């Protein structure tokens, strides 16, 4: 039995069953694989932060608000499409 009732389409019970049975187990998680993936994600995060920092402090600094709003609206639209 569920703890709470909701009409939110993201929190319905059926969505969790679909996700739980969507994939098959193909490989075992290892420490080396985890370290490699964390390192890659950290590298991508640092690269994105450095690019953003350079855009804001460089010649294009006046457009930082425009880029932030475009990213926020684009992220919201992608969230709506995903759900």
The structural domains of the chain, with segments of one domain joined by +, span 9-82
Kindly report the pTM of this predicted structure: 0.50
Integer distance in angstroms from the first to the last C-alpha of the chain? 24
The number of CA neighbours under 13 Å toward the Cβ of 27 is: 6
Per-residue pLDDT for 60 more than 50? yes
Distances 19 to 8, 13, 16, 55, 75 between C-alpha atoms, Å: 17, 11, 5, 38, 22
Please check the confidence at residue 26 and state whether its pLDDT lies above 90. Answer: no
**pLDDT over 70 (residue 15):** no
Between the alpha carbon of residue 62 and those of residues 40, 56, 58, 66, 69, the distances in Å are 31, 7, 9, 8, 13
């Amino acid at each position: 039995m569920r703890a709470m009732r909701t009409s939110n389409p993201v929190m319905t019970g059926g969505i969790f069953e679909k996700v739980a049975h969507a994939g098959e187990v193909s490989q075992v998680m290892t420490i080396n694989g985890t370290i490699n993936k964390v390192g890659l994600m950290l590298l991508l995060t640092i690269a994105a932060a450095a690019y953003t920092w350079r855009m804001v402090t460089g010649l294009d600094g006046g457009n930082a608000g425009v880029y932030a709003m475009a990213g926020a609206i684009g992220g919201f639209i992608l969230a709506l499409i995903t759900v």
